[in-house]
Amino acid sequence: MKLALTFSHSVCFSLLLSSSFALAIPHQSGDDILQRLDKNADGEISIKEAVADPIILESFSRIDINGDGLISRHELTSVHVRRSHGGGLN
């Protein structure tokens, strides 16, 4: 019983984070997110930099379209465009 509740809570938490990400993208441009998280100013967000934002961190692998371990301005913009057109995250 406790295992089932724990699993349920885990699923709910994951859905909440995904929903939060869906709400966060339209309110912040990719440039705003990049500027806030890109601490070494290389134009990309690494997993270490993403730790500062739980929503971005949770969605990192879905935002990192090319799978190179970095989130570029283009990838952030693509997520924003897909969100604004109802496409969601893949």
In a domain, 89, yes or no: no
CATH number for the domain that contains residue 74: 1.10.238.10
How many domains would you assign to the chain? 1
Quote the domain boundaries for residue 29: 2-84
Cα 23–Cα 67–Cα 47 angle in degrees, nearest 5: 65
In a domain, 65, yes or no: yes
- How confident is the model over 33-90, as pLDDT tens digits? 999 999 999 999 999 999 999 989 999 999 999 999 999 999 988 876 565 545 555 4
Q: According to the model, what pLDDT value does residue 77 have?
A: 87
In a domain, 31, yes or no: yes
| pTM of the predicted model over 0.75 | no
In a domain, 90, yes or no: no
Q: According to the model, what pLDDT value does residue 11 have?
A: 45
Q: According to the model, what pLDDT value does residue 24 have?
A: 45
In a domain, 29, yes or no: yes
Please state, in angstroms and rounded to a whole number, the distance separating the CA atoms of residues 24 and 36. 14
